[in-house]
Amino acid sequence: MQEMQITVTFRHMDATENLREYAKEKVAKVSKYVNKPIEASVVLSVEKHRHIAEVNIIVNRIVINGKEETVDMYSSIDLVMDKIERQLRRYKERLKKHKTISANLKNLYGKINVLTPESIESDGEPQVIKSESFSIKPMFVEDAAIQMNVSNYDFLVFTNASSKRMNVIYRRKDGNYGLIEPDH
């Protein structure tokens, strides 16, 4: 397996090798929650008497981040990594649930073709100029929202793991998400 990529950036403070190694060591400990290589960036900054540690970790296209501030940089690093570890633990537990559910719902796995240009007659009617296939994956609504956070799509088609029905989650103009569920 590839090694984790960890970058440590210092802002408004002197870069010390001890602090850099401490941050890298703390971030490397969370790799036990994932089986794929991850990227992590740590930003350590000082504003007046506040020591701020901000960590962003990318795991399987999911971004997990945290920020903490105290009067001591080592404490800030410890607190933010506790927060990140809790988030990764929750993420790993959800993945376990998904594996169990997807094993039970294998027959619901499938591909849906949105629309093909051949299915539309060209007699002045609007035409589909792009067609894509999407894998319909069982997941919970919260996980679908997480996927929307990291995707460039305005919608996501998925099988709701709770109701076992196809749903669509979409990005609203106000920044929130909408959910389309069948009523039957």
Euclidean distance between CA atoms 40 and 6, whole angstroms: 5
Residues 6 or more apart whose CB falls under 8 angstroms from that of 112 comprise 133, 134, 136, 157, 166
Euclidean distance between CA atoms 7 and 54, whole angstroms: 12
Amino acid 103: pLDDT = 53
Residues of the chain with CATH 3.30.160.100: 5-99
Amino acid 107: pLDDT = 43
**What does the DSSP assignment read for 112-124?**
EE---GGGS--SS
Q: pLDDT tens across 39-87, in order?
A: 899 999 999 899 999 998 887 767 788 899 999 999 999 999 999 888 8
From residue 153, alpha-carbon distances to 129, 169, 171, 178 in Å are 17, 10, 8, 14
Rg of the chain (C-alpha set): 22
Q: What mean pLDDT do residues 108-120 have?
A: 46
Amino acid 139: pLDDT = 86
3-state SS, residue 71: coil
> Which band of pLDDT confidence, cut at 50, 70 and 90, is reported for residue 110?
very low
Q: pLDDT tens across 15-31, in order?
A: 899 999 999 999 988 88
Q: pLDDT tens across 116-173, in order?
A: 445 444 444 555 566 666 667 788 888 888 777 666 677 888 888 888 888 888 888 8
Quick one: CATH architecture of 105-180? Answer: 2-Layer Sandwich (3.30)
Q: What mean pLDDT do residues 108-122 have?
A: 46
Residues of the chain with CATH 3.30.505.50: 105-180
Q: What is the CATH number of domain 5-99?
A: 3.30.160.100
